[in-house]
Amino acid sequence: MLELKNKLFKITIPFLSFYIFSVVSIITGGYIVKIHREIEEYKQIGLWYENLDIGTQYTNNISNFVKDVKDKLKENAQDFKNPESKKLSQGIEKQISFDQNFPNEGSVKWKIGKTKEAVRVHYAYTALNDFNGGQQSSESREKQKEESVNDKVFLYFTQTMISEIKKYLDNMVTANEVQNSHTFTKVVMNYLTGKDNYSNIIPDLRINNVYITNTATGFMLSYPFTDDKYKPNIILRDRPWHKAANNTYYSSYKETDGTLGLTGIYIDINDEKNSNAIRTLWYKFKTNDEKEYILCVDLFFDKSSNLSKEINLLDLDLLEQSIRSGINLKEGDNSWMYLLGINFIMALLLTLIYEFKVKDIILRISKRYPNDLVKIKLQLDRKHYASKDEGEIKFTIQGETKEINKSEQSMEAKWFLNIQNIQVGVNNNQSHTKQEEATSRYEFINEYDLNMSQSKPEMLNADTKLYIDSYTNSKKAKLVNITSSPQTNEHS
């Protein structure tokens, strides 16, 4: 039992050392990976604002996103083109707000990190907005507004947003206003693409809102409902996404049939103080009764707020991000639990490798060049402290070794003759013995200076002094008085 405890104790020290090494390695490696990813993300953001038509790996991520959105929209296009065929929830029209009276109950706070703009949104409602620019009389416009509340496409859009988006968002609301905006982006991206990896591939891309416009009436329905009201007298045909859908404004990734594209950079309509440059992904379609609609998603990047952060190695958020990057975890995974478990396995494997392989190699290397000089430590049972000037003292160690080699050789000869019962015989026995003896004598002489006139400690321990000098000032051992005396003895 005691032997087992000793073995465990010997293994514990290297295990803890390797565990600490593993933790530091994962965090350091993760931090390097995180910095590399951020550099790649900044390149992607630069191209977003400059030119998306350049074929690089950074623009490919965005083009793939647009392609997946296009595939998803075309897959669901029939539902929008023929909303009468869809069963709508009873009272869904009550979820459309057209008077801009914002319900406080159930609202969520958002904030855009780079502009510091804060708004309140409500995931249970859509907002009806007039983009006709006051070109019709208020009386006729009010009538069209009431009719737009019952627009089948608007109703189906409202039902889809609440049933497909809100149900996920309700359980993901936090006190972090920036994170709430990010969560909305992630859920909408997952719905529009049918994939859940774009929030990791393009982590700083944000979705401001989703909206659909009836081009004939000029009414627009946006989600989510927000307390940030649009400016009055907005003219539909002046909006960049409307121009792009009608080939009068530039679009990237535009479909050959003119049904989908991504506009160039422009300033959001409500951003007058803190401008937010955005692009709009638009999709134009007609219903079975030839009514034209444009479905839009506003996109922008929000990463500049990270530039103002000071690097603090003790920041838990930074450490968690480094761990997540080092182990390549998904968002929502418990990074600390993964770190403890993976480090335990790594430390255990490294300890086993060290004990069974590396340790023996190190020991063999350390014994490859042994020290041929004799090191002698003199230890006195009784300590003596020099109290007077004793000058020099000398220690002489003498020794003798003797080697004896002895060999013996014998030879015997006989002959015998028997004639008529007369026996005659001769017997000769001869032996030789040879002995060699070699004697070696050696002598070691060490001299020590105990002259107290030199600068020395007040109380000098003689045995300590001798131990130090035996390694530093001892003279080379000399071999003396070597004799060899071979001897030979013979007898017969």
Q: Is the pLDDT of residue 282 over 90?
A: yes
Mean pLDDT of 160-170: 91
Amino acid 68: pLDDT? 93
Going 70 to 217 to 280 to 171, the CA torsion angle's sign is: negative
Average pLDDT of the chain, as a whole number: 76
Amino acid 415: pLDDT? 60
In whole angstroms, what is the distance from residue 228 CA to residue 173 CA? 19
CA of 142: how far to CAs of 135, 137, 232, 310, 362, in Å?
13, 9, 15, 53, 89
Highest mean pLDDT among 155-164, 363-372, 435-444: 155-164
Considering only residues 402 and 12, tell me which one the structure prediction assigns the higher pLDDT: 12
Report which secondary-structure segment, H or E, holds 70. Answer: helix 57-75
Question: Could you state, in order of their start, the residue ranges of all structural domains in the chain?
Answer: 1-50+313-370, 57-302, 392-491
CA of 29: how far to CAs of 35, 261, 311, in Å?
10, 40, 16
Q: Is the pLDDT of residue 483 over 80?
A: no
Considering only residues 299 and 432, tell me which one the structure prediction assigns the higher pLDDT: 299
In whole angstroms, what is the distance from residue 268 CA to residue 277 CA? 6
Using pLDDT thresholds of 50, 70 and 90, give the confidence band for residue 481. Answer: very low
Please name which of 296, 293, 257, 298 lies closest in space to residue 80, comparing C-alpha atoms: 293
In whole angstroms, what is the distance from residue 228 CA to residue 350 CA? 58
In whole angstroms, what is the distance from residue 450 CA to residue 106 CA? 92
Considering only residues 206 and 51, tell me which one the structure prediction assigns the higher pLDDT: 206
Q: Is the pLDDT of residue 472 over 90?
A: no
Amino acid 452: pLDDT? 57
Residue with tokens 């050392």: 17
CA of 427: how far to CAs of 243, 375, 424, in Å?
137, 61, 10
In whole angstroms, what is the distance from residue 459 CA to residue 467 CA? 16
Mean pLDDT of 401-421: 68
Residue with tokens 């982590």: 203
The C-alpha torsion from 315 through 320 and 323 to 324, rounded to 10°, is -140
Q: Tell me the two tokens of residue 88.
A: 């709508």
Q: Tell me the two tokens of residue 401.
A: 């070794």
Q: Is the pLDDT of residue 465 over 50?
A: no
Highest mean pLDDT among 184-193, 328-337, 421-430: 184-193
Residue 119 CA from chain centroid, whole number = 34
Q: Tell me the two tokens of residue 356.
A: 């069974």
In whole angstroms, what is the distance from residue 189 CA to residue 198 CA? 7
Using pLDDT thresholds of 50, 70 and 90, give the confidence band for residue 223. Answer: very high
Largest CA distance in the chain: 171
Report which secondary-structure segment, H or E, holds 201. Answer: helix 198-201
Amino acid 479: pLDDT? 40
Report which secondary-structure segment, H or E, holds 484. Answer: strand 482-491
Using pLDDT thresholds of 50, 70 and 90, give the confidence band for residue 467. Answer: very low
User: Contact, 19 vs 343, CB < 8 A?
Assistant: yes
Amino acid 221: pLDDT? 93
Using pLDDT thresholds of 50, 70 and 90, give the confidence band for residue 454. Answer: low
Amino acid 419: pLDDT? 59
The contacts found for 354-358 with CB under 8 angstroms, 24 or more apart, are 354/14, 354/18, 355/11, 355/14
In whole angstroms, what is the distance from residue 255 CA to residue 261 CA? 6
Residue with tokens 């700083």: 204
Residue 119, Cβ neighbours under 10 Å: how many?
18
Residue with tokens 């959001």: 268
Going 198 to 204 to 208 to 212, the CA torsion angle's sign is: negative
Mean pLDDT of 334-351: 81
Q: Which of 150-154, 223-227, 327-331 has the lowest mean pLDDT?
A: 327-331
The contacts found for 186-194 with CB under 8 angstroms, 24 or more apart, are 188/297, 189/65, 191/72, 191/164, 191/165, 192/68, 192/69, 192/72, 192/73, 192/297, 193/65, 193/68, 193/69, 193/72, 194/68, 194/71, 194/72
Q: Is the pLDDT of residue 365 over 80?
A: no
